Amino acid sequence: MMPVNMSVIGAGYWGKKVIREIMDVSRTTGQVNLCSIVDNSPSMLEQCRKEFGPLDYRLSYQGLLSDSATSAVHICSPNGTHFEVASRFLRSKKHVLVEKPLALRSREADELVRLAETNRKVLAVGHVHRFNNGVKELKRVVDSGLLGDIYYLRLQWTGFLPPQRDRDVITDLGPHPFDICNNILGTWPTKISCRGRGYRGGSGDEVAFITAEHIDGVNASIELSWLDSEKHRDVTVVGSDAVARLDCLDQKLVLQRSDKTETILTVPSNTLHEEIIHFAECVENNSTSEPYSNLSDGAIGAGVVRLLEASKRSVSEERTIQVSIPESEELIASEPAQTGFRKLSAYH
C-alpha cells in the first residue's frame, strides 16, 4: 500500500495530538505520510516547529488546495471553520477527515456529504469512539442478547472547563455520546428533549440533560457538563437480564447480573491511531473502486449534527423535538457497524 499523503489543518490542542499520531502511524505502518501543518497562528506554528522539527509549516491552507503532494487532510481547526475548510478541500478533490462535529448546521453537513459523493472522495468524521475496543465489546454484548431486552441507556460526559467563549457544551461534548448510542443500538432517535443552562457568563450552555427516544421505547439519557469537577466518559446499558457499565476512558466493561458481577477484559485501543489507519484504508480501498465500509462516514456525522441541532432547538423552544433522519442515513444507522455497506462512503 502506498502511503496516503496527509496534511493537518489546525495545530492546537487536538491538532498536535493528531500530528503525533500521524507521525507514529507513518513510522510504525508506513500507511500515511505527514506533508504539511497549517495553523493561522504564528505562535502555534512555532510551538509545532519546536516539537516536530523541520516540516512544511504554513499559515494558510490556500496553497494546499492545488498542491498535488497532499491527497488528504485531517481538519482540526475550530468547529465554526469545519464546513468552510472541508468543503474547499472536497471541491479540490482531496480526501477529508473532519473532527467532530462534522459541521455546525445539518444543511452544511449534508452539503459535505454531497460534495464527497460528487467528487468521489472519502469523507470521514472524527467519531473516535468507533475505534474504542470497550465500545466495540459493549456493542458485541448488546448484539449477543446477553443483556436481554434493552430498557434504557445512560451516558455521562462531564469534566470541568473554565467559562468558554464561542462554545457550548452540546456542540462540544454531544457528538460522542450520540454517536455511541447510534453505534450500539443501530438506530437514530426519533425525539429529543433537552434542558440546558449556562451559569458563569460564558456564551452558551455549560450543562445539558438530553433524553433521546429511540424506536421500541428505548431511551438514552445523556448528561453533558463542564461544571462537574469529575471527568466521566461513562456508558451504562440497562437490560432485563443484566446491566453493562463501560468506562470509555480505560475501556473497562463490567457486566452485572443478579447472581454475579464480571469484568470483561478488553485490550484498550489507541483510538486516534486506529481512526487514522482506518481513514488511510478507506482512501486506499476506494482508490480501486471497491465498496469499502467507512465506519465513521459523512452520513453518520450528518446524522449526529441533526441531533445536536434538535437538542439546541429543544432548549430554546422548551419542548420535545421530532427528528427526521433522511432515508439514506436511516439505512446506514441500521447496518451492522462492522460489515454494512455505506451508501454514501466515497469512491476515488
Ligand X SMILES: NC(=O)c1ccc[n+]([C@@H]2O[C@H](COP(=O)([O-])OP(=O)(O)OC[C@H]3O[C@@H](n4cnc5c(N)ncnc54)[C@H](O)[C@@H]3O)[C@@H](O)[C@H]2O)c1
Residue 251 in contact with ligand X, rule: CB under 6 A: no
CA dist 125 and 102 (Å) reads 6
- Position among 14, 52, 152, 347 found at the interface with ligand X (CB under 6 A): 14
CB of 73 to ligand X, least distance (A): 11
- Position among 6, 32, 39, 329 found at the interface with ligand X (CB under 6 A): 39
- Position among 6, 8, 11, 169 found at the interface with ligand X (CB under 6 A): 11
Select from 19-27, 37-45, 178-186, 332-340 the region that touches ligand X (CB under 6 A): 37-45
Nearer to ligand X, 121 or 176 (CB): 176
Q: Which grid coordinates belong to 119? A: 467528487
- Position among 6, 64, 72, 128 found at the interface with ligand X (CB under 6 A): 128
DSSP 39-94: -S-HHHHHHHHHHH-S-EEES-SGGGGG-TT--EEEE-S-GGGHHHHHHHHHHTT-
CA dist 61 and 36 (Å) reads 9
**Helical ranges in 193-247 per DSSP H:** none
- Position among 1, 2, 28, 41 found at the interface with ligand X (CB under 6 A): 41
Residue 100 in contact with ligand X, rule: CB under 6 A: yes
Per DSSP (E only), the strands in 109-204 are 123-125, 150-158, 191-197
From residue 51 to residue 70, what is the string marking binding to ligand X with x (rule CB under 6 A)? ----------x---------
- Position among 4, 32, 38, 109 found at the interface with ligand X (CB under 6 A): 38
Q: How many residues sit in the footprint of ligand X (CB under 6 A)?
A: 22
Considering only residues 74 to 93 of the shown chain, the ones binding ligand X according to CB under 6 A are 76-79, 81
Select from 35-43, 86-94, 287-295, 335-343 the region that touches ligand X (CB under 6 A): 35-43
Query: Do 169 and 206 form a contact (C-beta atoms < 8 A)?
Result: yes
Nearest 10 degrees: Cα torsion 178, 309, 279, 26:
-90
Query: Do 180 and 188 form a contact (C-beta atoms < 8 A)?
Result: no
**To which residue does cell 445536536 refer?**
308
Residue 47 in contact with ligand X, rule: CB under 6 A: no
